[in-house]
Amino acid sequence: MFGLAEGIAILAMVQAPVADDFGHQALVEGRDAAAIAAIMDNDQIENDDPARLINLGIAYARKGDEALARQLFEAARDKAERVELETAEGEWIDSRRLARQALAMLERGEFATGSRVAAR
């Protein structure tokens, strides 16, 4: 079983773009800069989309930018819209809960050693 750090892969929402639009594959492969580029270059993803915010947060946390990662996770946690996101393990989790889990992981330093990814 993956920890949140290995699989915040928000895998599926039927009406959402495919997982790669959210940098999922690059995150799974540990290519954080490529994930950031893929997410930032996709103009079909709203800037405040919870999957976008969480995946960017993961990538920045892994790259060592904890302040930016915290801002992204907090934005996902505080967003009025709640969505169900599927983790790489197939578990559906409320976006706010997933963001809170990511913040807790950030506090424990878990992104420095490896991460779970989110696809949408």
Q: Which domains does the chain have, with CATH numbers?
A: 4-112 (1.25.40)
Q: Which pLDDT does position 11 carry in this prediction?
A: 37
Judged against a pLDDT cut of 80, whether residue 110 lies above it is answered with yes
Rounded-to-integer distance, Cα 117 and Cα 39, Å: 13
Greatest pairwise CA separation for the chain in angstroms: 34
Q: Which pLDDT does position 118 carry in this prediction?
A: 53
Judged against a pLDDT cut of 70, whether residue 18 lies above it is answered with no
Task: Read off the pLDDT of residues 63-84 as tens digits, 9 standing for 90 and up.
Answer: 999 999 999 999 999 999 888 8
Q: Mean of the pLDDT values across residues 36-44?
A: 91
Judged against a pLDDT cut of 90, whether residue 34 lies above it is answered with yes
Q: For the chain, what's the residue count?
A: 120
Confidence band for 43, pLDDT divided at 50, 70 and 90: confident
Confidence band for 15, pLDDT divided at 50, 70 and 90: very low
Strands (E), the chain: 84-86, 92-94
Contact assessment for residue 11 and residue 19, using Cβ atoms and an 8 Å cutoff:
yes
SS3 state of residue 63: coil
Rounded-to-integer distance, Cα 89 and Cα 63, Å: 24
Contact assessment for residue 20 and residue 118, using Cβ atoms and an 8 Å cutoff:
no
Distance set, CA 51 to CA 89, 102 (Å)? 16, 12
